Structures are given as structure tokens and as C-alpha cells.
Structure 1
Amino acid sequence: MPLVDMPLEKLKEYQGINPRPADFDAYWDRAIAEMRAVDPQVEFVPSEFQTPQAECFDLYFTGVRGARIHAKYVRPRGAAVPHPAVVLFHGYTGNAGDWNDKLAYASLGYSVLAMDCRGQGGSSEDVGGVKGNTHQGHIIRGLDDHPDNLLFRHIFLDTAQLAGIAMGLPEVDSERVYAHGGSQGGALTIACAALEPRVKKASTVFPFLCDYKRTYEMDLAKDAYQELRTYFRHFDPLHEREDEIFEKLGYIDLQFLANRIRGDVLMLVGLMDTICPPSTQFAAYNKITAPKQLVVYPDFGHEHLPGSADKTIQFFLKD
């Protein structure tokens, strides 16, 4: 079997090396309390794009720190009420994508909510306001400020808030809300299911944002993780603060949120992945205590995994 990381049997045992902050649980309990105190002021604006089978809306809500977050909302016409819903999350720097790729779910009678991450390629607002570097990268945004100001903290909370909004829609069955995404979207799927544990099922494809120190030590702090190296080069060239920096990144390391998931999990991993190394993904997968299943693609990296979308739909259909 090809290898860029550990053998598969070792991956299935790996528990990660990034330090976990001692107050990690209190940190996220405090964050969730902040989210729940926000009045989301949900707004639906009919889109110019409509189909005979589905109604399409631009959905807006207010997230933590006052940012206005955008999602595409597709609601099937004539579907049973209540019906399932899927929340979708995009890759790093991207956006919620076109309307048409949500229609497969609408054809099954599912509503779809696809979020634009704040400050990335879509229409969500980034209110900023942190000390320190903002030149490159969301992983390190807020790293020189209080941990409560890390940008990915807010993005993780946006995912949970959107799932909660979906559960409150009169047309949606609150007990059949699912989450899905790949890469950053896979990471946000884990965050969503962990911070909103009522999410029934989560399908995560090669998730990002796990076990930062492992990525760095593998000399793979490049591409999506390049900002880790950039941060050290600019702000800690002698690595005098290395332990402190990785521990702070531990607040937004999804391997430590994974044990909060209560719904069923499907994870798809390519063993040749040099963007999000397999061991970092397994660090999260191995900490999931909820029902879970793993699909391994030995010869694939961070790329389209054949059949992965079909496997996700079949996973959601099996109630």
C-alpha cells in the first residue's frame, strides 16, 4: 500500500501530538453560551435563481461578535413536512457554490443550507477587530490576541448556529438534520456536529484543522497549512514560543472537539493526502465515541474521491 504517512494499522491507533489546552472544555462551553445569547435575526431573501422543484433563498443570520453570515437555502417544493435538512460547508477560501449542486438533495425531499464562511470567498461578513497578523490565513487570525478572539472559534460557532436555525424551521424535521463537507468543509462538519450535538449524521471528507503540530513536524506546513510556517517566520523565527503557539492552536484543533459528537459519523480519507495528512485526520476520527464508519482510499490524496458523494447520500438515506 502506498504511504506518505503511517501504515494504516498505526493510523487506526494514533491519538495526535498537538497539546490540548487545560481549559479546553470550559473554553468551548463559554463559546457556546456566547452563541446562544445572540439574536440571529434570520432573514430570507428570494433568489433570482428558482426551479420548478425547489425554492431558493439567500439566508442571513447574525453570528457571534455581530457578523452577518450568509447561506444559500434550497427548499424542495411539495416535499413532506417536516422533512430532513443538510447543512453544507465549503473548502478553505471558497464559498457556498452554485445553486444547482444543491438540487440533488432537494430532489430527495431535503432542504439544504450551504454556509459562506466569514471572511472567505462568499458573502458572509468578517468583522475583524483582532490584534496581530491579518495578512494571511484564518488559522492564525487572532493568535496574538485572547483565545476567545481566534477567528476559527467564530466560524465553528457559525456552523452550529446554522444547524440550530435549520432545526427551528417549521418545514424541517429537527431530528433529521445532517452535515457534510470536504477539507475545510470536512473540518466544519466535525465542528458543527460537536457543537450542535443534535446533528443526526455527519459525513466528513479528508477534514482540515486537525493536529497542527503533526502537520508541522511532517514538514507539510505548506499549501492550506502554509500560514503556520509563515507565522513562525515572521513572529517567532527562533521558535521560542513554539509550545505556547501550538497549545493556543489546540483550542481550534478538531481532534479535541470530536468526542462531543453524538450523531453517526462517516469519514472518508485518502492515504496519499499531503495537504491534510492522514494521521491528522485519524487523530480526530479515533477520538469520536459516537457510532462511526471509515472509508479508506489507499491511492488517493486531497482530490475527488470517486463515489464519495454517492456514499454520503446513501449514508443520509439510511435512517
Structure 2
Amino acid sequence: MPLVDMPLAELKKYEGRNPRPADFDAYWERALEELQAVDPQLELVPSVFQTPQAECFDLYYTGVRCARVHAKYLRPKMTDTPQPAILQFHGYSGDSGDWQDKLAYVSLGFSVLALDCRGQGGYSEDTGGVKGNTHNGHIIRGLDDHPDNLLFRHIYLDTAQLARIALELPGVDPQRVYAMGASQGGGLTIACAALEPRVKKLAPIYPFLCDYKRVWEMDLDKDAYQELNTFFRKFDPLHEREEEIFAKLGYIDLQHLAERIEGEVLFFTGLMDTICPPSTQFAAYNKMVAPKDLVVYPDFGHEYLPGCADRAMQFFLQE
């Protein structure tokens, strides 16, 4: 069959190209300490969208750097026993989606919390405040500032904070908090479970935000990764800072966070993906030491994967 990347046998052994900063663990421990100090000031506002079977809320909380973060929160009515909860994360530049598409999980007794990533298509804030380029794109936001100011650091922490909120919600069984998403949502699913290891199951689908240097070396710094190309062309055209830039991107490279995951993983990938190349995804998958299973679609790219959503739902329903 045609290939856009390595053969599958090589992908299963691939360990990634983007460097891991020497102080990576200290970086994320410092980040989690910052998150721990934040008072989330949780607010639930009944939504205008309601159904006979579900209570629906706009959920707001304060994240790091004082941003107010929004998520859609749906919970089943008339439940006397603790129920599972699922965290949902959307694709790059998108939003949490419609209320109605979450009702399938609510009908099965799940609470659903769907994040709006700060500064993207929904209602969450990006408070900004970094030096250097803000021309476009979130991967490069803060790249000319201190690594603690990288925007995706804050977004990753938002996912962990949402998980912590879910774990404490009335009616939620803290032993059954799960996460899922595709593309950026798949990447944020990995970040969430890595930074909040009490997430018991996760289903990342062709995750974004992995192995940036490999993306660049494959000449696929376009589409979702276009801002990497833009940054070098505008701010380092001779690549004099190449080593520094990829080292800094290593702090928000999810392949390096993946080993922290403790929950069970069901990982979906398409071998014809030219948006998030398969090797970048395998760089993260191969570093996961938690129980994991891989679902490979040989002929599919960054697109609808037939049966994927059904299989993920069955995974979350299994006790």
C-alpha cells in the first residue's frame, strides 16, 4: 500500500525526534504548583438549551494567568448513584460544539464536560501578555518569551483543571472520569490524563501537538502546523536558533508527557495522515507505559474514521 510516513513496523518502534528538555519534569511540576494555587471560582449558569433527560450548564472557572475558561456541562437527571463523566476536547481553532451531540453519552448516564480552549472558537479567554510574536497560532505563542509563558502550557493546565473539577462534581464517580478528543482534542486528551493521572480511561484520536521537529523534517509544517514554518520564515530565516526553538517546543511536546499517563488508553490513528503524521503520533503512543491498545486505519488520514466513535463508546462503557 502507499505510504506517507514509515512502514507500520517501524512506526511501532519510533521514539521521536524533538528533544526533551533536561528540566522537563521540573518544568511541569512548577506548572502544576501554579495550577494548585489557583482558586477556580467555579460558576454554573443554566443554559438556554435544556432537555427532559439532561440538565445543561455553561460552566466557568478561572485558569492560570487569570483567564476565565468555559466548558459545556451536561448531566443526567434523576440519578441516585454516582455516574461516570467524560471530558471532551475539540480540534484546533474550534469550539466545544453543539449541546445535542453530547446527549448520547448523557442518555447512558454520563456527565459530559466539553472544553472551549482559551483563545480559540468558543467562550474561553486568552489573556495574552507575552513578549514577541503573536502573529498567529498557539503553538508559537510565547516562543520568544520564558518557557513558562507558552500558551499551550496554559491550555494543557486548563484540561487538568477541568478534570479536577469533574472529579469533585456531585453525582460523579471519581473512579470513572474519562477523556476523549480528535486532532488537537486527541492531544489535549493526552495532556489531561498526563497532568491529572486520576483520569481512568482515554481515547485520543490522531493527536496533534507531538514531535514538532519530525513534522518540520517531513516538510509537513503546513495546515495545522503552518505556524512553525511561519515562525522560522519571519523570525529565524537562517535557522540560527533552530536548536533553541525545538528545545523550547519540547516543553509542550506531548510525546514527553505521555509516559505520565496511568489510565487505560485506546489510541486511534490513520496511516495516511498528512496533517498529524503517523510517526509523530507513534512518538507519543510508544512512550505510554499504561495499559494501551492501538486501532490502526491503514487507508485513512485526518478524517472521519468509520466505527471509531462507536468503539470509543464501548470502551468507556466497559467496567
Larger displacement relative to structure 2 (113-122 or 1-10): 1-10
C-alpha distance in 1 between matches for 2:81 and 2:208: 35
| Aligned ranges 1:71-220 → 2 under 5 Å | 71-220=71-220
What is the deviation of 1:79? Answer: 2.8
Unaligned runs of 5+ in 1: none
C-alpha distance in 2 between matches for 1:81 and 1:23: 44
Q: Secondary structure at the match of 2:157?
A: helix
Q: Secondary structure at the match of 2:204?
A: strand
Counterpart residue identity of residue 224, structure 2: A
C-alpha distance in 2 between matches for 1:218 and 1:80: 53
Cα offsets for 1:199-253 (capped at 9, x unmatched):
0000000000000000000000000000000000000000000000000000000
**Partner residue of 1:35?**
35
**Partner residue of 1:254?**
254
C-alpha distance in 2 between matches for 1:79 and 1:300: 40
- TM-score normalised according to structure 1 size: 0.99
Counterpart residue identity of residue 172, structure 1: V
C-alpha distance in 2 between matches for 1:101 and 1:148: 35
Unaligned runs of 5+ in 2: none
**Partner residue of 2:245?**
245
**Partner residue of 2:46?**
46
C-alpha distance in 2 between matches for 1:2 and 1:123: 41
C-alpha distance in 1 between matches for 2:288 and 2:249: 20
Q: Secondary structure at the match of 1:173?
A: strand
**Partner residue of 1:274?**
274
Q: Contact between 1:80 and 1:109, CA under 8 Å: does it hold in 2?
A: no
C-alpha distance in 2 between matches for 1:211 and 1:204: 16
**Partner residue of 1:294?**
294
Q: Secondary structure at the match of 2:314?
A: helix
- TM-score normalised according to structure 2 size: 0.99
C-alpha distance in 1 between matches for 2:289 and 2:218: 27
C-alpha distance in 1 between matches for 2:229 and 2:130: 20
C-alpha distance in 2 between matches for 1:171 and 1:158: 22
Counterpart residue identity of residue 112, structure 2: V
C-alpha distance in 2 between matches for 1:20 and 1:285: 16
What is the deviation of 1:85? Answer: 0.1
**Partner residue of 1:15?**
15
C-alpha distance in 2 between matches for 1:36 and 1:166: 15
C-alpha distance in 2 between matches for 1:33 and 1:305: 38
Larger displacement relative to structure 2 (138-147 or 74-83): 74-83
The count of aligned residue pairs is 319
What is the deviation of 1:2? Answer: 2.6
Q: Contact between 1:215 and 1:280, CA under 8 Å: does it hold in 2?
A: yes
**Partner residue of 1:60?**
60
* Same amino acid, percent of matched pairs: 76
Moved over 3 A (4+): none
Tell me how large the CA RMSD over aligned residues is. 0.5
Q: Secondary structure at the match of 1:257?
A: helix
What is the deviation of 1:170? Answer: 1.7
C-alpha distance in 2 between matches for 1:312 and 1:133: 38
C-alpha distance in 2 between matches for 1:44 and 1:313: 27
C-alpha distance in 1 between matches for 2:78 and 2:208: 37
What is the deviation of 1:81? Answer: 2.5
Counterpart residue identity of residue 311, structure 1: R
Counterpart residue identity of residue 9, structure 1: A
Change in 2 beyond 3 A, CA 1:80/1:3: farther
C-alpha distance in 2 between matches for 1:310 and 1:29: 36
